[in-house]
Amino acid sequence: MDQAVRSAVKAATADCDRNAWDAGNCPVRDVMNRISGKWSTLLLEALAEKPHRFGELRRLVPDISQRMLTQTLRDLQRDGYIEREVFPTKPPSVEYRMTPLGRSLFGPLSKVLAWAAENHDAVRAARRSFDDAGLA
């Protein structure tokens, strides 16, 4: 980890200390809380590629309930990561697309997702050996 990143993280940590790690004032927790939802990263991943309509997103993430799809999209929109555009056709259609802020987040975030894909086996192996050691 280079020095620039290290000091940025340290600054964030310092903020948390001053505010007793209050969720609302700690940048790390405030931002992570949202992107760490069960579906957030999957939707960001889908919308990072290109804009999608509601129904398309539902098909891209088959096991999401329509309630959680709506809610997660609204949360992402509220934090400024995605935009919602309504086309007053009949029947109506709605398109979701990433904002510049969302793209700027997805840059670093995608690196973590890539890490997950590359190291998934290592994690599963660690998990197995932990369980086999009887510490489960």
Partner DNA sequence: CAGGATCCCTCTAGATACTG
Partner DNA sequence: CAGTATCTAGAGGGATCCTG
Decide which of DNA, a copy of itself, none touches 88; Cβ closer than 5 to 8 Å per partner kind. none
Q: Which residues contact 38 (CB under 8 A, 6 or more apart)?
A: 68
Q: Report, in Å, the least distance between residue 97 CB and DNA.
A: 12
What is the Cα–Cα distance from 47 to 113, expressed in whole angstroms?
14
Written as six digits, the tokens of 62 are 């088959």
Q: Report, in Å, the least distance between residue 93 CB and a copy of itself.
A: 19
Closest to DNA by CB, 38 vs 50, is 38
Burial of 32-44, coded b for 16+ CB within 10 Å and e otherwise, reads eeebeeebbbbbb
Per DSSP, 99 falls in state -
Q: Which stretch binds a copy of itself (CB under 8 A): 50-58, 70-78, 89-97?
A: 70-78
Per DSSP, 65 falls in state -
What is the Cα–Cα distance from 30 to 18, expressed in whole angstroms?
15
Ranges assigned E (strand) in the chain: 52-53, 82-87, 93-98
Contact flags string 56-85 toward DNA, x per CB under 7 A: x------xxxxxx-x--xx---------x-
Q: Report, in Å, the least distance between residue 4 CB and DNA.
A: 30
Q: Report, in Å, the least distance between residue 50 CB and DNA.
A: 14
* Residues lying near a copy of itself in the complex (CB under 8 A): 1, 4-6, 8-9, 11-13, 15-16, 20-21, 27-33, 35-38, 41-42, 45, 48, 61-63, 74, 77-80, 101, 104-120, 122-127, 130-131, 135-136
